[in-house]
Chains A and B, each alone.
Chain A
Amino acid sequence: MRLGLLPLSPINLDHVGHYVHWGVIQISVANLLLILLMVVIFAAAILLPFPGTRRRK
């Protein structure tokens, strides 16, 4: 039943995961991308102006 749902997924998950190996560090590509996305969101939160800031000044 669950396998029948897989072709509907936007990404084909029916294979072994991809991993990055760097010395003792081993991390899945999915987790690495997620951490990079969090870093991008963090940088955007610091740099982007907050709505209404100008009005309140």
Chain B
Amino acid sequence: MTAVPASAGETSVPAEESGGWTGWVRRRALRSFPPDQLLPDKQPIYVASWIYVFGVATIAAFIVTLASGGVLALRGPAWWHGSSVGHFVNSLHLWSVELFMAFMVIHLWGKFFMAAWRGKRALTWITGAVSFLASIGTAFTGYLTQQNLASQWVSTQAKDGLNSVGIGAYFNVLDFGQMLMWHIVLLPLGVGILVVAHVLLVRRHGVVPPFPPKETQDRAATVDDGSVQA
């Protein structure tokens, strides 16, 4: 940690170099995510569309999923299978996941047709796509850990597919303990980190603008290939 001068007469380290690694992280974070860019109160006019709502709806459903999953973890399968409140929270967990996946897929469709990777937004697109894949894995391991006939059926069907691609020894769907840990620790952590990274990248690069009008595109193409020169 850098010493702070006791009086105005003492020599101090320039602000740009002070602070050691914490100072470096602080300067880097402020440069990458200025506060008005991290938490903006205005967005471009093209963001006023229903299609932009599904990203935040996905995050809202994800929060409900995490909260209801936390309650299920506290109370256990005897409670979620055997009491009316347990049935309710179990159903809340299921339906929040259903909404999470549906909203995420609609968000993905919207971003795909907008080519949302334009303008140096490739990493934003990639983190979104990978979090979608990780969510499928999380939902799958959730089916495996319901503690009922459905989970037994899903696991015995899935083991053949996973063994056929050679990963059954490392990802054993018949090992309840391993699947539970994947479902409640590793995969939610992975999805959570990816979602936070995705949102930070959206903040940094901004929401992708719509395609320009067709006349502008035609004019740009004409200038590019040099077919018309004034």
Contact = CB atoms under 8 A, between A and B. Distances in A.
Contacts of B106: 38, 41-42, 45
A3 interface: no
Given A42-B110, A56-B45, A57-B45, A34 B102 contact: yes
B45 A50 contact: no
Interface residues of B, number: 13
B72 to A, nearest CB: 17
Interface stretch (B49-57, B157-165, B168-176, B215-223): B49-57
B154 interface: no
Contacts of A57: 45
Nearest to A1: B82
B48 A45 contact: no
Nearest to B81: A2
Contacts of B51: 42, 45-46
A34 B102 CA distance: 9
A40 to B, nearest CB: 10
Contacts of A41: 102, 106
Interface string B41-72: 00001001111011000000000000000000
Interface in A33-49: 34, 38, 41-42, 44-46, 48
Contact of A45 (B53, B82, B102): B53
B109 interface: yes
A38 B102 contact: yes
Contacts of A52: 48
B105 interface: yes
Contacts of A9: none
Contact of A53 (B48, B82, B110): B48
A45 B48 CA distance: 11
A50 B105 contact: no
Contacts of A42: 51, 106, 109-110
Contacts of B82: 1
Interface in A1-33: 1
B147 to A, nearest CB: 13
A28 to B, nearest CB: 14
Interface in B149-187: none
Given A38-B102, A45-B110, 13 more contacts: A34-B102, A38-B106, A41-B106, A42-B110, A45-B49, A45-B51, A45-B106, A46-B50, A46-B51, A50-B48, A53-B45, A53-B48, A56-B48
21 contacts: A1-B82, A34-B102, A38-B105, A41-B102, A42-B110, A44-B50, A45-B51, A45-B53, A45-B54, A45-B106, A45-B110, A46-B51, A46-B110, A48-B50, A50-B50, A52-B48, A53-B45, A53-B48, A56-B45, A56-B48, A57-B45
